[in-house]
Amino acid sequence: MILYALLSGSQKWKTLRNRASYIFMRPAILNPLFSDITSLTGVGPKIAALIGRVAGPRVVDLILTPPAGLVDRSFKPKIADAPLGRIVTLEVTVDRHHAPPKGKRLPYKIICSDDTGFITLIFFHARADYLQKTLPEGETRIVSGKLEDFNGAKQMAHPDYVADPAKPGEMPEFEPVYPLTAGLSAAVMRKASAQALTRAPDLPEWQDASWLKARDWIGWKSAIDALHAPTEEEHLSPLSPIRQRLSYDELLSNQLALLLIRKARIKSKGRAIEGDGKLRTKAKKALPFSLTNAQNDALMEIFDDMQSGERMVRLLQGDVGSGKTIVAFFAMLAAIESGAQAALMAPTEILARQHMDSLSVLAKAAGVRMDILTGRDKSAARAEKLARLQSGDMDILMGTHALFQEGVEFRDLALVVIDEQHRFGVRQRVALTQKGPKPDLLVMTATPIPRTLSLTAYGDMDHSRITEKPPGRKPVDTRAAPMTRLDEIIAGIKRAASKGEQAYWVCPLVEESDLLELTAAEERFESLKEAIGGDRVGIVHGRMSGLEKDAVMERFYRGDLSVLIATTVIEVGVNAPNATIMIIEHAERFGLAQLHQLRGRVGRSDKQSSCILLYKPPLGETAKARLKVLRDTEDGFVIAEEDLRLRGAGDVLGAAQSGFPRFRLADIAVHGELLAAARDDAKLILERDAELKTPRGEALRTLLYLFSRDDAVKFLSAG
């Protein structure tokens, strides 16, 4: 139909085309900002690659990267009053040059003075002709740099600036300092940012006028210019008015995009899934325990969503061991009772197989046909499974990313469950939901998420929380111990292994590093093999292939290994109920939420488990606070909030992973109040102007494009 309209030039096609361009075309006023940074003078491919690492590949990325520091050259004392160790700006007379003798690798010295004293300028590997031209004897010059002492005399090595007093513009009094990487100088980054800033246009105001007035905030263009021209340390603070204004812009774009996505999903009608409850009743009778109140509450919310005519998009949060998988299974049974199918996608093959194992008894009791599809399936076995799936002879399919590959066709997919949601990208998630006619989506995470981060990452979803563990689970005995007790710990592990117990031993590095004095996983692997026995110790780390890791973890799961040496790859994805000991080496190097996740690998049965946090003294105050919180509580949500407070949003929960937004200007740990205001503002905006067609709505479209929220809106609003 669209092809016909295109070829015929019909009015229908023109309307469709105009509507698409109206919705998805970037405003022309922003085009200069979205050009490649190689369009800037002096930025070639090599420099662009370096800038790309710290900011991004486009001009707008430079504009939205705030200075991380400030060099203040406004302090202009006399030589006699100039303090050591501080950047000073001096107006001096050049008295005489002292070039080193030929062949001698000595510094070039220039003696300068004012009416209060003398200073020596030091240059290594200097070109005499250049220095004589820049600092001619008898002339007055302004020099700026850090003052040092050498044998009781004041000197300045390689001044940052040498300027002619008649040309004051040659040296700025205040210099912003930007994030850098190896090979990228501060001067190059500063020049690129300054040049990018000249392309920033005056944009129509998207903020409410009364809100700006109440906060005493200036316009966007003035704010972005001021961001890059700090004159005091306070200007760098996330709490400065300039930074708050721009952070609010970023948060509003985030919240508006999420609500637009949510609105598109709600408009996209789902199907009412109302099972008769027979399969759920059979499965419940086969359960060796009763569901907790929190599990039942989550199920009621999920069933209400499934029975409505709107498509369910719900996040199920539950601490490690809280029973999310059982909740998801009962949701899948509801879909099967209605005559449809369900899918569960896990991030690793071993986790998918463990879900299969743990649910097989219940599936059998309910008479549900369940199978697993992974990359290991050979062509004949794979074809047989796919045929059963397509014909409807399979009710539940579990697996990894293999589930959303081409050729995997469901007869009638009504519910998609995704485990450890943050391990998958948005495109993978949507690809699986496109395997059926608008299936409901339930995503699960065992990673406790602070409320503010949850709003920014999953604001388009409804939320359910399981806040209690099944009865019978004993708290994990958590203790901190210095590395000086290492031999004692290894002896204890050896005794436990002789009794048939299993232990994890987590190290932060794979190989020894000259830069960090941390024990590598491979070094610890060798030492524990010697202590316990080579055939009883295994190792997994991120440099191994998926098949290699799964094979080792499978041996641990079966009980063939007593100790599993690992990096954080075991944070999610292996469940060995017999494992009762968790050793985390150099625990001070890990974040709170990550430590909690690792600890959650033990304490998954009625056996008493322990977690030992090995640290290298002395501990800093933040590290002390982190380990104390872990000893004091097992509540993942409390721990997540405390982690956010202690470390900030940049490091919490692996925020760089897919699923969590990376903010350039906003700091969720600081701007929680602004986030709540942005959420309310976004709701009000869409209530009053659902299509963003008013003058403010048009400006808000520009805001969405400015912060690159357009792709998410385009991609998901169609889903």
pTM here is: 0.74
Nearest to 451 by CA among 470, 469, 465: 465
Does position 293 have pLDDT exceeding 50, yes or no? yes
Instruction: Report the range of poorest mean pLDDT among 230-244, 546-560, 569-583.
Output: 569-583
Q: Cα–Cα distance between 39 and 511 in angstroms, integer?
A: 41
| % of the chain with per-residue pLDDT over 70 | 88
DSSP secondary structure letter of residue 316: E
- Is the pLDDT confidence value at 11 over 60? no
Contacts of 79 (CB under 8 A, 6+ apart): 90, 92, 113, 114, 116, 117, 118, 119, 154
Facing residues of 123 across strands? 108
Runs of H (alpha helix) within 124-169: 128-134
Q: What is the mean pLDDT of residues 201-225?
A: 96
Q: What is the average per-residue pLDDT within 495-524? A: 75
Query: Which DSSP category does 58 fall into?
Result: B
What is the Cα Rg of the chain in Å?
A: 31
CB-based contact 476:631 (threshold 8 Å)? no
What is the residue type of 313?
Answer: V
Distance CA 179, CA 190 (A): 10
Decide: 442 and 302 in contact? Cβ < 8 Å.
Answer: yes
User: Residue 341: its pLDDT value, please?
Assistant: 96
For helices 592-599 and 636-647, the axis angle rounded to 10 degrees is 150
Does 384 have pLDDT greater than 90?
yes
Query: CA–CA separation, 462 vs 687, rounded Å?
Result: 19
Model confidence over 93-136: pLDDT tens digits? Answer: 999 999 998 878 899 999 999 999 999 999 998 899 999 999 99
pLDDT at position 543:
77
Beta strands in 471-598 (DSSP E): 477-482, 502-506, 537-540, 563-566, 579-584
- The pLDDT assigned to 6 comes to 33
Q: At residue 474, what is the residue type? A: K
User: What is the sign of the dihedral through the CA atoms of 597, 598, 604 and 606?
Assistant: negative
Alpha helices in 85-155 (DSSP H): 128-134
Residue 428: which pLDDT band, with cuts at 50, 70 and 90?
Answer: low
Q: Please state which CATH number belongs to domain 278-466.
A: 3.40.50.300
Name, of 22-36, 190-204, 390-404, the range with top average pLDDT: 190-204
How many whole angstroms separate alpha carbon 630 and alpha carbon 628? 5
CATH no. for 477-633: 3.40.50.300
- Does the domain spanning 74-171 belong to CATH 3.40.50.620? no
Q: 229 φ, ψ to 5°?
A: -130, 55
- Lookup: tokens for 567: 């990096």
Domain with CATH 3.40.50.300 in the chain: 278-466, 477-633
Average pLDDT, the chain: 85
Most confident range (mean pLDDT) of 219-233, 581-595, 653-667, 703-717 is 219-233
DSSP-derived pairing of the beta strands 87-98 and 140-146: antiparallel
Q: Cα 411 vs. chain centroid, distance in angstroms?
A: 36
Residue 14: per-residue pLDDT: 41
Half-sphere exposure at residue 114, Cβ-oriented, CA atoms within 13 angstroms: 17
Of the CA atoms within 13 Å of residue 166, those in its CB half-sphere come to 2
Of the candidates 169, 105, 113, the residue with the CA atom closest to the CA atom of residue 137: 113
Q: Which two tokens stand for residue 522?
A: 């491979």
Phi, psi of 672, rounded to the nearest 5 degrees: -60, -40
Residues 241-267: tens digit of each pLDDT: 999 999 999 999 999 988 887 777 666
Q: Could you tell me which residues are beta bridge partners of residue 96?
A: 111
Q: Per the structure block, which two tokens stand in for 57?
A: 């590949």
Both tokens assigned to 418? 């995704």
Q: Which two tokens stand for residue 595?
A: 């430590």
In this structure, how many other beta carbons lie within 10 angstroms of the beta carbon of residue 69?
A: 13
Rounded Cα–Cα distance for residues 430 and 293 (Å): 31
**Average pLDDT estimate for 638-642:** 81
Q: What is the Cα–Cα distance from 623 to 182, expressed in whole angstroms?
A: 28
In whole angstroms, give the CA distance from residue 626 to residue 652: 13
pLDDT-derived band of residue 432, with 50, 70 and 90 as boundaries? low
Beta bridge partners of 184: none
Q: Which pLDDT belongs to residue 548?
A: 83
Numbered ranges of CATH 2.40.50.140 in the chain:
74-171
Write the Ramachandran bin of 533: left for phi over 0, alpha for psi from -120 to 50, otherwise beta.
left
Helix (H) or strand (E) holding 370, with range, is strand 370-373
Distance of CA 123 to the CA centre of its chain: 44
142 pLDDT above the threshold of 90: yes
